Amino acid sequence: MGSEQADDVVVVGGGVIGLTTALVLAERGVRVRVWTRDPVEGTTSAVAGALWWPYRIEPLVLARAWALRSLDVYEELAARSEPTGVRMVEGVMGETDLDEAEAWASARLPGLRASTAEEYSGSAIWARLPLIDMSIHLPWLRERFLKAGGAVEERTVSDFTEVDAPVVVNCTGLGAHELVPDPSVRPVRGQLVVVENPGIRTWLGSTNAAGEMAYFFPQPGRLLLGGTAEDDVWSAEPDPAVAEAIVRRCAALRPEIAGARVLGHRVGLRPVRDAVRLEREPLPGGRVLVHNYGHGGAGVTVAWGCAEEAAGLASS
């Protein structure tokens, strides 16, 4: 690609995948604009529980590599947790096999071990993982991107041919369902309940025999309770009955949650695909479209690894 093209990229999508990809490009000296339908605070990423762990994402081998690269970055950002929103927090991952976890993560996760019976009644691991406060992290990403010379515009794209740039990066998540169009991208609905934290400092995630999820993540000033994974449900409206069930399942794990005051309800639609789509596609007129979508429930987990790969495809 010529020098004129090398400094003009439009990233479509302003969630964590789009912002991180745009930031990597901008810090490599590329002139980048982000076109986002919603303000950063209104994206699916904004309601993510945001514990670092490859969840509902394929292909798993690649996802783990992207996740470990992202872990490097999050560990650095956790040294400045106040501005970045990233902290390293200990907790229990229920119904998780230690041998499998050790096979790919032990070299990078010191202290990874089997949990005790007091910590969790079934098979589980104890780990210290990045926990990201998205209400802080997304605005921080945006500010770092703007400081690197990038620009963010609220624009709705109905066709990639509308985008006036030699290189377009598609980070539209669930929006790719209609925009590409790619019918294999589908929503997996997740609901959260935000409560006052009754003093819980560790996180926990589990799935019971009936396939019901329960997790809680301590964030500054609040505790996030989850969750659900409803395939092909497009509704973003919180369901009161689902919220009650979430609180009940979490309180079964930590009884003090039962009396916690509810602060709010959130719904996010995870953009699940059989496999992440991360590849180049030629457009008419010699332009290039780079796809980076389909990260399911692990967008935050793999954001930096995927961003670096997408940036390489955009500038090669």
Q: 48 near 269, Cβ under 8 Å?
A: no
Q: Hey, what's the torsion of the CAs at 149, 73, 104, 173, to 10 degrees?
A: -40
The response to whether 299 counts as a known ligand-binding position is yes
Q: What is the DSSP string of 38-75?
A: S-GGGSGGGG---BSS--S-SSHHHHHHHHHHHHHHHH
The response to whether 276 counts as a known ligand-binding position is no
DSSP letter, residue 255: G
The response to whether 172 counts as a known ligand-binding position is yes
The response to whether 298 counts as a known ligand-binding position is yes
Q: 200 near 91, Cβ under 8 Å?
A: no
The response to whether 85 counts as a known ligand-binding position is no
The response to whether 297 counts as a known ligand-binding position is yes
The response to whether 13 counts as a known ligand-binding position is no
The response to whether 45 counts as a known ligand-binding position is yes
Q: Token pair of 302, please?
A: 């793999």
Q: Token pair of 6, please?
A: 């090398």
Nearest-angstrom CA–CA distance, 107 and 29: 33
Let me know the angle formed at the C-alpha of 251 by 234 and 191, rounded to the nearest 5 degrees. 10
Q: Hey, what's the torsion of the CAs at 95, 100, 102, 105, to 10 degrees?
A: -90
With tokens 């005051």, the residue in question is 261
The response to whether 195 counts as a known ligand-binding position is no
Residue numbers in the known binding site for FAD are 44-45, 157, 172, 296-301
| Annotated binding-site members | 44-45, 157, 172, 215, 270, 296-301
The binding site for D-dopa consists of 215, 270, 297
